[in-house]
A and B are shown apart, each in its own frame.
Chain A
Amino acid sequence: MINKMKEAAHCLQNTSVKEWKRDGGKVVGYSCTFIPEEIIHAAGLLPFRLRGIGTTSMSIGDSYYGAVNCSVPKCILQLAGQGSYKFLDGAIITNGCDSMRRLEETWRKASEDYPGTLPDYYEYFPVPHKSVDYSIEFYEEELNSMIESLQNHFNVKISKSSLKKSIKLYNEGRKCLQRFDELRSRQDVPITGEDAKAVLIAAHAIPQEHFIDMLKEIIEKMEKAPSVSNGKKRILLMGSASDDIDFIHVIEEAGAIVVADTVCYGSRTYSTLIDEKSDPVHALSSHYLTQSICPRMLGYYKTRLAYVMDVIRKTKVDGVILQNVRFCDLHGSENGIFERDLDAAGIPCMRLEREYGPLSETGRISMRINAFMERIS
């Protein structure tokens, strides 16, 4: 089972996506955790989180972006421009951050030069930066517009009952992931951080029903699995988008084991469940806009710190790695504040700025991780 998860983590068009397409299914890519997968699922479409994995050149990405932009959207654009995302029938881009927000324009522009690389359904979705009543209302209106446009473009009906069914299914996935997190962070760790990361990536890359079945099997095995953590330092990984299992491999090669994370493409999306009783669109709106720990949301640092301290307490980590992709202004600045507060709380932590994409910096990254491991030994 874990190999299927790893396959999904290593490549874009995994076997499940290919089978979905072969059976006539359609796939809609989305750029950020603020897009409710439940809506895409309720439309009978496969939600697929956009990634920049496997990029070997930046010839296209660099042409439409500035030199000081985060390389995550650049890598996504590179893959889009070279045709790797041609399996998508749709894509929804958000203003998750400013660089990601620009992807909406750069992809559109690049498709003029690389014809046929823009999905037929291509939409921008604005997400508010505040979690207050009026922004939840705005977000709900936007979700209703998204529902309408998906219905019109794909000629499908997204009913309240189908939305409720999807919410129930994704809540089941969340409960499984919560159990998965409990297991991966227990004293005798039954899974490497590298394998755990593959599971978390697969959650947004294969049909949810299929994912839940596989995850249940993995959980069953984890309940009885021997420890893989002997003598290793328990690490919490924090910071910006991280969907590269090779990066986790580099960390773990230095004698660490990643037992928890708060990163995008990681454990960010399932710590709470969506209300299944109230109006589904309102439930989605209030959940997605109020339960995120992404620093794009203004004014909630203390809530995020409390969440992180709770994770640290529960998972009993030896240290925290605060990583961010170079030029990530959101996480780059917030990591500095986290460092200050974790230092004050006596929790060993290190900041690590890195490039996203091909791991060209392995030597320098492992030198720093090694030094951190030596420090907390």
Chain B
Amino acid sequence: MIAAGCDVGSLTTKAVILNNTRLLGHALIGSSFNPEKSAAEVMEKALAAAHLTMDDIGFCVGTGYGRERIGFVKKTISEISCHAKGAHFLQPSMRTIIDIGGQDCKAIRLDEKGEIVKFMTNDKCASGTGRFLEVMAKLLGLELEELGRISGQTTQPINLAATCTVWAQAEVIMHLNDGMSKADLAAGINEAMAARIAILARSVGIEKDVCMTGGVAKNTGVIQAMEKQLGIPMRRLRVDPQMMGALGAAVFARERMGGR
């Protein structure tokens, strides 16, 4: 019983191949302008990793912004449901999931059965999204992955006053010109990010256990800042948090095939 999930996001496209509860393969690529092509390419990679072909897949569910454009899926499900499903599949005690994607962030609260009770998404702007961190990392001349590591070396994080991504960028440039260290800037950026997301998380009502999914969950600086702001620990997941939407889609696919 082999199921698959494909998540075509705004920045990255992901695929997961699942055999019952065992992860057989997964892949991640940057999203191209053509969602259909991105989906086909990432699925090919995930299948290769699992040593399988498309004919082996019993059911595939699509999710993400490009979900309606994926040719090979039998059903599409929103990424809100998929992230919740993936996190709950990995850790049934999970009650609050904070997903930060490329162009949005979501806070989702679950009941003990893993059903969604409430969710909120950012409505105002791109602040508090993966795109915000991407812009800032580029500004500091860092790879996205380095933001978290470098922020750990801070002695005094800067305080970013602006909410708007563009204005915050201007603020960081000003601090750079003043000779501020990259570690302090990176820490300030991560804290600003966490502050935006904490508002969203509080609005759905936080219940333990809490985890973060999406690409930004790989940034240890943001995770630590979130823990500090919310005053509760973030549970680490045993699967790459960026794959959570695709994993949830694969779990839904497995359920469609009669698996539990």
**Interface set of A (CB-CB < 8 Å, partner B):** 326, 343, 350-351, 353-354, 363-364, 367-368, 370-371, 374-375
Contact = CB atoms under 8 A, between A and B. Distances in A.
The 9 closest A-B pairs by CB, nearest first: A371-B80, A370-B78, A353-B123, A371-B78, A374-B81, A375-B116, A367-B78, A371-B81, A363-B65
B81 A351 contact: no
A364 B77 contact: no
Contacts of A353: 123-124
Contacts of B121: 364, 367-368
Contact of B79 (A326, A350, A351, A367): A367
Interface centre among A351, A364, A367 (most CB of B within 10 A): A367
Contacts of B80: 367-368, 370-371, 374
Contacts of B115: 375
21 contacts: A326-B123, A343-B118, A353-B123, A354-B123, A364-B104, A364-B121, A367-B65, A367-B78, A367-B79, A367-B80, A368-B121, A370-B77, A370-B78, A370-B80, A370-B81, A371-B80, A371-B81, A374-B78, A374-B80, A375-B115, A375-B119
B205 to A, nearest CB: 10
Contacts of A326: 123-124
A18 B242 CA distance: 56
A326 B77 CA distance: 26
A351 B124 contact: no
Interface centre among B78, B79, B81, B104 (most CB of A within 10 A): B78
B120 interface: yes
A371 B119 contact: yes
Contacts of A343: 118
Interface string B91-135: 000000000000010000000000110111101100000000000
A351 B124 CA distance: 14
Contact of A351 (B65, B77, B116, B120): B120
- Categorize the interface residue count of chain B: 10 to 19
Contacts of A354: 123
B164 to A, nearest CB: 10
Given A364-B121, A371-B80, 11 more contacts: A326-B123, A367-B79, A367-B80, A368-B78, A371-B78, A371-B79, A374-B77, A374-B80, A374-B116, A375-B81, A375-B116
Interface in B142-172: none
Contacts of B81: 370-371, 374-375
B73 to A, nearest CB: 14
A8 B71 CA distance: 38
Nearest to B118: A343
Nearest to B115: A375
Contacts of B124: 326, 353
A71 to B, nearest CB: 13
Contacts of A364: 104, 121
Nearest to B81: A374
Nearest to B123: A353
Nearest to A351: B120
Contacts of B116: 371, 374-375
A367 B64 CA distance: 8
Interface centre among B79, B81, B115, B120 (most CB of A within 10 A): B81
